[in-house]
Amino acid sequence: MNYSTHVATSLAAGTYLTTVTNVPFSVACLGGIVIGSLLPDIDEPNSFVGRRTFGLSKLIKKTFGHRGLTHSLLFWLLFSLLYYKFQNDFTLGLSLGYVFHIIGDFFSRQGVPLFFPFTKKKFRAPLTYKTGTVQERALLVVALVAFVYIVYRYKLFVTVF
């Protein structure tokens, strides 16, 4: 999934979550979701976040491969300890964005190694898309429309400003 689709789908999912749970619709939480939705791809030097890591991305990819450790549920749980240690809207958003990224890649044809390092087997949903195709662009548009609809429908913009 391209970075823009990760951001859009994560924002749509996170915004919906604010309407059915106690997750706050705040600039800090939304900012965390955006950043968190990009972080798992730190294992790909050519990714949006990978190009900004000053070589760290190359080291991670060499050690764990793309869609290895950083796309596992174990790493997400360890990463989410940030929220346990620093309970605020931003770290909550980071954790949510991170898991939304993994879920998004779960629906890709490549799948994700959910239980890495215990197994390198990649899991994927029965219904998948191929990265960079019309299917993914359609998903991007649907996510953006859903985000705007949810914000408008629940008048969430009032809570931010």
Number of domains in the chain: 1
Question: What integer pLDDT is reported at residue 159 of this predicted model?
Answer: 73
Task: Name residues whose C-beta falls within 8 Å of residue 91's C-beta, 6 or more positions apart in sequence.
Answer: 32, 82, 83, 85
Question: What integer pLDDT is reported at residue 105 of this predicted model?
Answer: 97
Question: What integer pLDDT is reported at residue 161 of this predicted model?
Answer: 61
Give the residue ranges of the chain where pLDDT is below 70.
160-161
Judge whether 88 and 28 are in contact, CB under 8 Å: yes
The pTM assigned to this predicted structure is: 0.95
d(CA 106, CA 113) in angstroms, rounded, equals 9
Range of the domain at 80: 3-160
